[in-house]
Structure 1
Amino acid sequence: MRRAPRQDRSRAMVERIVTAGREILLERGYERTSTSRIAARAGISPGSLYQYFPNKESILDRVVEVYAEQLRARISHAFVANLGTSVPEMVRANIVALLDAFEEDSGLLRVLYQLPETVDVQRAGFERHIDELVTATLATLLPRRPGERAAPGRTCGTAGTAEVAEVAGTPETGGDVGEAGSAGAVGTVAWILVRTVEHVTIRYVLDQPPIPRAEIVEELTAMITIYLRQRV
């Protein structure tokens, strides 16, 4: 970004350009999106646009970044809101939240998958954040003593709310998961779970298979719950 948006007017202009870029991308796809079309939609000249963004790629990078930020915030809220529920309830609630978010912007999601490099960068950041959330949540389920097994039907304890909220970056605390929480088997389980759920939910939204949404939610919930019971 060439000109730092230091004033309210500049920030508003950046948002205007990014909104226009999102609209043109949805309407025309990546190849037919151009800075001239974005400028026209934003109601400014191409020269004015170039004061804020050097090319269309930088605008679309920001479009993806905003989308990823909104997605992270939405899923983080779901994680924190469902602490204290049973494992199946929490898993189900978070799958529903992810599906809701993807379906709400399914058009943008579909177009963004035409931009592999841009999406991969932002998706990696999103996955890292959710990895940390899942890791912090799993830590509340793990046995407290070596050799101890987690109790059947154990809930995602509210004792871990502060830790999960910290990772989620909620106003209460903010920050990152500590080294101990992300190490070893817990981190491995989190990595597997995040990518499994992400892949299935995204493919369900994009491919639109003839499978009821509720069935996808229940089957994915059952699969993850059984896996968690074996691992924690």
Structure 2
Amino acid sequence: MDRYWEQVADRVVASLGDRLGEIGPARIRDVVDALVAALEADRALLRVIHEELPPRRLRHQRRALEQRVRELATAAMAVQVPEHERPGVAVKAWVVVLAIENLTMRWVLDEPDLERDRLLDEVTAMIAGYLPVSAV
């Protein structure tokens, strides 16, 4: 489990961290795509982890993943917004990270009648619409 969550985190962090100052729809889509790809890499294991194991067994790994990604998202957004908006960036990063995590995980687990590209488009539009104009 630790290795699985570490691999997921590494993929997402790599997609966010290599061009930290670039936040926009293409960048958001890249991050969402990286998370979907990481979660899709082993659907069966994700299903067991998410649906069969007690949630308390995953709490540490998920929080560590969320914190790594949230810290990078906060840093990326902070460089894009005016100084007076920076105190609110951590809250926005928390909302964005959890929204992306939950939507992508449900898509991978539920396998709805929704094409992958459409999911990426919808999540990108939602996140881009939520972020301040100066951060997109």
Same fold, TM-score > 0.5, yes or no: yes
Counterpart pick for 2:79 among 126, 140, 143: 140
Give 3-state SS (helix, strand or coil) of 2:14's partner.
helix
Correspondence 1:210 to 2:77: no
Counterpart pick for 1:72 among 3, 9, 17: 9
Look up the match of 2:89.
186
201-210 vs 77-86, greater mean Cα deviation: 77-86
Aligned residues: 133
Q: In the superposition, relative to structure 1, how do residues 188 and 231 fare at CA in structure 2: closer, same or farther (>3 Å)?
A: farther
Look up the match of 1:94.
31
Q: Which runs of 5+ in 2 are unaligned?
A: none
Look up the match of 1:17.
none
Q: Which runs of 5+ in 1 are unaligned?
A: 1-63, 148-182
Q: Which has the higher contact order (CA 8 A, sep 6+)?
A: 2
Correspondence 1:81 to 2:18: yes
How much does 1:104 deviate? 0.8
Q: In the superposition, relative to structure 1, how do residues 216 and 194 fare at CA in structure 2: closer, same or farther (>3 Å)?
A: same
Q: In the superposition, relative to structure 1, how do residues 84 and 121 fare at CA in structure 2: closer, same or farther (>3 Å)?
A: closer
Counterpart of 2:14, as a letter, is H
CA distances 1:72-123 after superposition (whole Å, capped 9, x unpaired): 2111111123445451011000000000000011111000012121112210
Q: Which has the larger radius of gyration?
A: 1
The structure with the greater share of residues assigned to helix is 2
Look up the match of 2:58.
119
C-alpha RMSD of matched pairs (Å):
1.9
Q: Superposition pairs for residues 1-232 of structure 1, below 5 Å? A: 64-83=1-20, 85=22, 87-113=24-50, 114-115=52-53, 116-144=55-83, 146=84, 184-229=87-132, 232=135
Q: In the superposition, relative to structure 1, how do residues 129 and 107 fare at CA in structure 2: closer, same or farther (>3 Å)?
A: same
Contact 2:12 2:35 in 1 (8 A): yes
Contact 1:82 1:93 in 2 (8 A): no
101-110 vs 69-78, greater mean Cα deviation: 69-78
Instruction: Tell me how far apart the structure 1 counterparts of residues 19 and 87 of structure 2 sit (CA, whole Å).
Output: 25
78-87 vs 127-136, greater mean Cα deviation: 78-87
CA distances 1:103-144 after superposition (whole Å, capped 9, x unpaired): 011111000012121112210111111110110111111124
- Identity among equivalent pairs (%): 35
Q: In the superposition, relative to structure 1, how do residues 130 and 143 fare at CA in structure 2: closer, same or farther (>3 Å)?
A: same
Instruction: Tell me how far apart the structure 2 counterparts of residues 196 and 120 of structure 1 sit (CA, whole Å).
Output: 17
The 4+ residue runs of structure 1 with deviation greater than 6 A are none
Instruction: Tell me how far apart the structure 2 counterparts of residues 227 and 137 of structure 1 sit (CA, whole Å).
Output: 15
CA distances 1:43-93 after superposition (whole Å, capped 9, x unpaired): xxxxxxxxxxxxxxxxxxxxx111111112111111123445451011000
How much does 1:198 deviate? 0.1
